[in-house]
Structure 1
Amino acid sequence: MRRGDERGGALLDALLEGRPDPGLAARAASGLDLPERGRYAVAVLRAGLGGPAGVAMEADGLRFLRRRLRADRECVVVALGDRDPAALVALLVRCCPGPGGIGPVADGLVEVGAARRLAELALLTCPPGTTEIVRLEDRLPTALVVSQPELSARLVADVFGPLLALDPADRALLVRTLEAWLECGGSAGRAAGRLYCHRNTVLNRLRRLERLTSRSLSRPRELIEMMLALDAFRLTAPHP
């Protein structure tokens, strides 16, 4: 049994690494008792599901194959069958402290390696201190930012340079105002309700932000730059 578990673990590791072996998927399907061309999701979790990271477990009708990628990350390959990936998200939210990233659905074991790499990218879109479980499809613009750290740093410096020179409390106030405004669909009134201040206060802060960044929130291209810079800033700013 131990040799069988070790072989199963080795096969799963090879799939997750995406080794270019034409016969690997077929051998893994046989060794792990899985369909070679089934639907699979891959999640990378910072804290993991708890307990020893063995080869297999089942929950809510989903079969999980778990491997420890490194000390601070666990990888979970899930045989979805005909289930929606949203069911996996709901399950992980209930049983995992997060954060975690889930890649796109893999159509067969041969695509598990690529799904694992994209799941790791999805995990990188979770700002420090958060506990969310996110799907890559919901974070594509942010994933583009984090996939290019050198360009992300340059974007933050170029767009938010004057903002970074402010007192930390002042800077945090302007950033939070921009976040609230964006989350409220560009409504200053709704953002004011979320921030417990007057609508004019929100507008004044946004105008100040526009002056500091030399960008207008009413120009689509400049708004996109601000949004991407905000994502990059949130992912790299120090957190308590």
Structure 2
Amino acid sequence: MRRRSDEQGRALLDALLECRSEPGLAARAASCLDLPEHGRYAVAVLRAGGGEPAGVAPEADGLRFFRRRRADREVVVVALGDRDPAALAALLVRWCPGPGGIGPVADGLAGLGAARRLAEVALLTCPPGTTDIVRLEERLPAALLVSQPELSARLVTDVFGPLLALAPADRALLVRTLEAWLECGGSAGRAAGRLYCHRNTVLNRLRRLERLTSRSLSRPRELIDMVLALDAFRMTAPQS
């Protein structure tokens, strides 16, 4: 009977994650899984590796976890209670191989399907080769890009077209310089320290990038173009 109840609970959870709209579905799942129907829940989607999935305990740090495996994905549903979802990200980083995405908090079991779909979008914002576990709220511009792949590809071609024509090593050098400059708040001196080169070297590379893209890093709208194109490029570029 216990096995049958567990199987029923898993089936109900799968139905919620698939956004099925059957009358009373959330209430039945709440009763079967011993969960509040209108509690706070988070859904994480992890890119599963080979072998057995990483160990997430049924209960840990005051949180309850429910795990479902789907092809190359592992879906983790978490009963948050009054906990901050940022704590979940930190917990999954310790236990699970990334990358992974966490959707917005769902107000009730009926919202699990939407939270799972948005967690998938958050996962898509993780560039190839990375192991980050990210929250959708931290990646909203990138999430917009991955939600419109055709427009993202057009943006990369339009902004970075001449850059893409460079030799791979030359292109990577300019991209790393732009990344460092942005991460350092637009400080060429701090970016130079991170890149182990002279400040003037950073400035020369940035000027070259401006010439190639026909965009100025000092003009806000053109800087937005560059940042969005960089995000789109990083999410699709193969890792060297």
Give the TM-score taking structure 1 as reference length. Answer: 0.95
Distance 2:218 2:56 in 1: 52
- Partner deviation per Cα, 1:51-84 (whole Å, 9 max, x = no partner): 46999811111100110122x1100000000111
Q: Give the residue type in structure 1 aligned to 2:8.
A: R
Question: Cα 1:67–1:53, aligned 2, differ >3 Å: closer, same or farther?
Answer: farther
- Partner deviation per Cα, 1:96-151 (whole Å, 9 max, x = no partner): 11111000101101111000000000000100111111000000000001111111
- Partner deviation per Cα, 1:167-193 (whole Å, 9 max, x = no partner): 000000000000000000111010000
Alignment of 1:41-56 (within 5 A): 41-47=42-48, 51=52
Alignment of 1:152-163 (within 5 A): 152-163=152-163
Q: Give the residue type in structure 2 aligned to 1:199.
A: R
Match of 2:178 in 1: 178
Question: Cα 1:132–1:53, aligned 2, differ >3 Å: closer, same or farther?
Answer: closer
Match of 2:67 in 1: 66
SS at match of 1:186: coil
Conserved? CA contact 1:101–1:123, under 8 Å: yes
SS at match of 1:101: strand
Conserved? CA contact 1:8–1:55, under 8 Å: no
Conserved? CA contact 1:54–1:66, under 8 Å: no
Range moving further from structure 2, 37-46 or 23-32: 23-32
Conserved? CA contact 1:54–1:67, under 8 Å: no
SS at match of 1:104: coil
% same residue = 87
Distance 1:41 1:97 in 2: 18
SS at match of 1:143: helix
Conserved? CA contact 1:53–1:67, under 8 Å: no
Q: Give the residue type in structure 2 aligned to 1:77.
A: V
SS at match of 1:65: strand
Residue 22 of structure 1: CA displacement?
A: 3.2
Range moving further from structure 2, 230-239 or 170-179: 230-239
Q: Unmatched 5+ residue regions in structure 1?
A: none
Question: Cα 1:45–1:52, aligned 2, differ >3 Å: closer, same or farther?
Answer: closer
Alignment of 1:212-231 (within 5 A): 212-231=212-231
Distance 1:86 1:186 in 2: 28
1:24 equivalenced with 2:25 (yes/no): yes
Distance 1:53 1:35 in 2: 27
Q: Give the residue type in structure 1 aligned to 2:116.
A: R
Distance 1:152 1:209 in 2: 20
Match of 2:113 in 1: 113
SS at match of 1:180: helix
Q: Unmatched 5+ residue regions in structure 2?
A: none
SS at match of 1:75: strand
Q: RMSD over aligned Cα, in angstroms?
A: 1.7
SS at match of 2:87: helix
Residue 2 of structure 1: CA displacement?
A: 2.1
Q: Give the residue type in structure 2 aligned to 1:38.
A: G
Conserved? CA contact 2:55–2:95, under 8 Å: no
- Partner deviation per Cα, 1:12-32 (whole Å, 9 max, x = no partner): 000101112231111111111
Distance 1:56 1:66 in 2: 10
Give the TM-score taking structure 2 as reference length. Answer: 0.95
Match of 2:9 in 1: 8
Match of 2:36 in 1: 35
